[in-house]
């Protein structure tokens, strides 16, 4: 988990990845992000939206949002699988 701060007491971090191809598998998303230093996510929720730019909400049970914010610039607006992906860290639950 290079670059990430991990703690068993950490609030769950969430990462929004949009404009991904619908056909891209969960494992491909995991491999892509891990290749840029992200830890492996614990769960994924696919969001179809209007169909033009599907997204995925990724959950990290033991990684703080601030650790994800440090990694986010590595992949935000990166061209991957013929699309420019948007990657955003969602505010932690107590930040709402």
The verdict on residue 96 lying in a domain is no
Chain segment 46-87, per-residue pLDDT in tens: 998 777 889 999 999 999 999 999 999 999 999 999 999 999
The verdict on residue 91 lying in a domain is no
The verdict on residue 88 lying in a domain is no
Chain segment 6-36, per-residue pLDDT in tens: 444 446 899 999 999 999 999 999 999 999 9
The verdict on residue 25 lying in a domain is yes
Q: How far apart, in whole angstroms, are the C-alpha atoms of residue 91 and residue 96?
A: 7
Q: How far apart, in whole angstroms, are the C-alpha atoms of residue 19 and residue 87?
A: 9
Q: Residues with Cβ < 8 Å from 56, sequence gap 6 or more? A: 16, 17, 18, 20, 26, 29, 44, 45, 46, 47
The verdict on residue 50 lying in a domain is no
Residue bearing the bigger pLDDT, 91 or 42: 42
The verdict on residue 67 lying in a domain is yes
Q: Residue 30 sits in which domain range? A: 11-42+59-81
The verdict on residue 66 lying in a domain is yes
The verdict on residue 20 lying in a domain is yes
As for how many domains the chain has, the answer is: 1
Q: How far apart, in whole angstroms, are the C-alpha atoms of residue 1 and residue 55?
A: 23
| Residue bearing tokens 């997204």 | 55
């Amino acid at each position: 988990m290079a670059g990430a701060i991990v703690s068993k007491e950490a609030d769950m971090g969430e990462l929004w990845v949009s404009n991904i191809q619908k056909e891209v598998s969960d494992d491909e998303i995991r491999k892509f992000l891990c290749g840029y230093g992200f830890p492996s996510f614990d769960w994924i929720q696919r969001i179809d939206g209007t169909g033009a730019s599907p997204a995925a909400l990724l959950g990290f049970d033991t990684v703080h949002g601030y650790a994800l914010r440090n990694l986010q610039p590595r992949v935000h607006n990166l061209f991957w699988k013929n699309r420019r992906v948007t990657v955003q860290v969602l505010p932690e639950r107590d930040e709402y």
